[in-house]
């Protein structure tokens, strides 16, 4: 057999088979052979991977589209993803109107530009979205939908969204459950409590990052998670709790899974590295907010013991200037895809908190399984040849200007991490090598999914 590409002498890291030296033969973008190293095989191209660990291509299940430069963001943000070792990104859209026009417009923008494969999640906010849910699944291959439990009253108005209520959530989960393997992603936050705490803080003239964080205490997340899980159980719906940030919420998830297990949980790198006392002002404004050192410990424990399923970035590619404002006006979120793996390798693997195969579960196997990507997430025969070559010993300082995002900063600027992706291969084609983009825009494909 003549392979299109042979990846030789690397150590494969796969959740099902562990860490094992294997050569990988690729034909037409698929994994066509896995062999003990040393066999002489014919290939058009050879990637020498000695000293490298070869992960399944990483999947960032939580990025935001629509916050960067509208047309070029599919270039800049997929370059940035490839630099971070990611071969697939799943991006959220937020819209009050029906999604037909949005889907076609965004697909037309993304297809000629994307460097990595991509899929979409739609945020649901209007009655039309519930009415059309089956059409989104059938026509567009979108099988995951976000609902903001906090967008009550005026809270979502800054994003152009009408307020909704628990009746809406009920109807959404009921519809989703009727359609098969459809995932409802729930932003869990009791905004009625937050509104009161925020008013009090502002009236008292409080204006630090810590004040922002304390206006959204862990209870406001945990209580909302309980309600989300109770709704899901009652209606038989599959839910996914993104960006879980607190020990209190995680403990509630553990409790509820004993009686209903169609619940999946994500956390983000920044909740593993920052606390409410991080001295970075508006740069650190996120929702949910940074929490205590004890919460950080709880999340690492949750990653290790399996109660957290996925790590994703919640990547928001805005400029630094939108963050350098008084805390109540600063924008929320930050760029993050490219630094996920270094955070997990440096602070997780090298600190003895996570094995490499556990990292491959969190970044590859679990997001592929939860979000319906059957060709992704594993190094196995017949799977897409999405591969991330990693140098566990590479030390590198994060400098946003070396990364391709539209954003001009990183939460980790100046931090040194040990363990970096050095090559990203999407369906057999190298797209990043040593931080430099080597493949063409437009190689990335849209990933329609099935319920």
Question: Contact at 8 Å (CB) between 426 and 375?
Answer: no
CA distance readout (Å), 287 to 208, 212, 229, 332, 383: 15, 9, 20, 6, 36
Whichever of 189 and 314 has its CB closer to Zn ion, that residue is: 314
**Min dist. Cβ of residue 410 to Zn ion (A):** 17
SS (H, E, C) 265-323: EEECCHHHHCECCCCCHHHHCCCCCCECHHHHHHHHHHHHHCCCCEECCCECCCCHHHC
**Cα-Cα end-to-end distance for the chain:** 36
Whichever of 240 and 420 has its CB closer to Zn ion, that residue is: 240
CA 133, distance to chain mean position in Å, is 22
Count of CB atoms situated within 10 Å of the CB of 248: 18
Whichever of 278 and 332 has its CB closer to Zn ion, that residue is: 332
- Give the count of residues interacting with Zn ion (CB under 5 A): 1
DSSP string of 174-210, one letter each residue: HHHHHTSS-EEEEE---HHHHHHHHHHHHHTT--SHH
**Residue 449 bridge partners (DSSP):** none
Q: Select from 113-121, 313-321, 378-386, 404-412 the region that touches Zn ion (CB under 5 A).
A: 313-321
Whichever of 314 and 346 has its CB closer to Zn ion, that residue is: 314
CA distance readout (Å), 314 to 89, 198, 355: 11, 23, 23
**Residue 238 bridge partners (DSSP):** 183
Q: Select from 228-236, 294-302, 311-319, 322-330 the region that touches Zn ion (CB under 5 A).
A: 311-319
Among 106, 252, 314, 384, binds Zn ion (CB under 5 A): 314
DSSP string of 366-401, one letter each residue: HHHHHTT-TTSS--STTSB--EEEEEEEEEEE--GG
**Min dist. Cβ of residue 284 to Zn ion (A):** 16
Whichever of 121 and 427 has its CB closer to Zn ion, that residue is: 121
- Distance of alpha carbon 401 from alpha carbon 413, whole angstroms: 9
- Distance of alpha carbon 86 from alpha carbon 340, whole angstroms: 10
Q: Judged by CB under 5 A, does residue 266 bind Zn ion? A: no
**Min dist. Cβ of residue 244 to Zn ion (A):** 12
Q: Select from 231-239, 284-292, 309-317, 388-396 the region that touches Zn ion (CB under 5 A).
A: 309-317
Whichever of 59 and 387 has its CB closer to Zn ion, that residue is: 59
- Identify residues 1-40 at the interface with Zn ion (CB under 5 A): none
Whichever of 15 and 288 has its CB closer to Zn ion, that residue is: 288
**Min dist. Cβ of residue 64 to Zn ion (A):** 6
What's the burial of 393, exposed, middle or buried (CB within 10 Å: 0-12/13-18/19+)? exposed
Q: Select from 27-35, 149-157, 200-208, 306-314 the region that touches Zn ion (CB under 5 A).
A: 306-314
- Distance of alpha carbon 423 from alpha carbon 86, whole angstroms: 10
- Distance of alpha carbon 436 from alpha carbon 426, whole angstroms: 15
Q: Select from 231-239, 260-268, 281-289, 312-320 the region that touches Zn ion (CB under 5 A).
A: 312-320
Q: Select from 38-46, 292-300, 310-318, 361-369 the region that touches Zn ion (CB under 5 A).
A: 310-318
- Identify residues 45-74 at the interface with Zn ion (CB under 5 A): none
Residue 86, H or E segment = strand 86-93
Q: Select from 15-23, 96-104, 265-273, 307-315 the region that touches Zn ion (CB under 5 A).
A: 307-315
Whichever of 66 and 448 has its CB closer to Zn ion, that residue is: 66
Whichever of 5 and 270 has its CB closer to Zn ion, that residue is: 270
Whichever of 319 and 443 has its CB closer to Zn ion, that residue is: 319
**Min dist. Cβ of residue 314 to Zn ion (A):** 4
Which residue is nearest to Zn ion, using beta carbons?
Answer: 314
Interaction site with Zn ion (CB under 5 A): 314
């Amino acid at each position: 057999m003549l392979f299109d590409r042979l990846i030789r002498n690397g150590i494969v890291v796969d959740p099902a088979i562990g860490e094992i030296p294997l050569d990988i033969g690729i034909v037409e973008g698929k994994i066509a052979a896995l062999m003990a190293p040393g066999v002489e095989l014919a290939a058009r191209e050879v990637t020498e991977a000695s000293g490298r660990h070869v992960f399944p291509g990483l999947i960032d299940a939580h990025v935001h589209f629509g916050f960067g430069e509208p047309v070029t963001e599919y270039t800049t943000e997929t370059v940035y993803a490839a630099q971070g070792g990611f071969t697939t990104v799943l991006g959220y859209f937020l819209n009050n109107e029906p999604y037909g026009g949005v889907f076609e417009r965004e697909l037309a923008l993304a297809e000629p530009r994307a460097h990595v494969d991509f899929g979409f999640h739609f945020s649901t906010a209007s009655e039309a979205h519930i009415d059309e849910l089956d059409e989104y699944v059938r026509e567009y291959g979108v099988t995951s939908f976000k609902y903001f439990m906090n967008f009550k009253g005026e809270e979502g108005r800054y994003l152009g969204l009408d307020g909704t209520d628990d009746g809406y959530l009920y109807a959404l989960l009921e519809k989703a459950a009727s359609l098969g393997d459809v995932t409802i992603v729930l932003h869990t936050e009791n905004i009625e409590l937050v509104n009161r705490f925020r008013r009090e803080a502002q009236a008292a003239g409080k204006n630090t990052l810590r004040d922002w964080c304390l206006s959204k205490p862990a209870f406001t997340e945990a209580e909302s998670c309980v309600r989300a899980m109770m709704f899901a159980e009652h209606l038989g719906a599959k839910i996914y709790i993104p960006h879980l940030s607190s020990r209190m919420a995680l403990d509630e998830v553990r409790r509820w899974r004993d009686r209903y297990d169609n619940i999946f949980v994500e956390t983000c790198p920044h909740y593993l590295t920052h606390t409410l006392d991080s001295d970075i002002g508006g740069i650190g404004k996120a929702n949910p907010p940074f929490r205590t050192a004890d919460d950080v410990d709880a999340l690492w424990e949750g990653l290790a013991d399996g109660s957290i399923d996925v790590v994703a970035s919640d990547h928001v590619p805005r400029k630094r200037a939108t963050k350098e404002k008084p805390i109540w006006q600063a924008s929320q979120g930050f760029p993050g895809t490219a630094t996920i793996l270094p955070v997990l390798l440096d602070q997780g693997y090298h600190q003895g908190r996570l094995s490499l195969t556990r990292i491959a579960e969190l970044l590859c196997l679990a997001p592929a399984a939860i979000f319906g990507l059957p060709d992704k997430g594993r190094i196995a025969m017949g799977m897409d040849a999405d591969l991330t070559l990693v140098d566990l010993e590479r030390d590198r300082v994060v400098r946003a200007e070396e990364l391709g995002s539209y954003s001009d900063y990183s939460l980790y600027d100046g931090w040194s991490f040990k363990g970096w992706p050095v090559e990203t291969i999407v369906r057999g084609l190298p797209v990043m090598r040593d931080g430099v983009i080597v493949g063409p825009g437009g190689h990335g494909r849209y990933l329609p999914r099935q319920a």
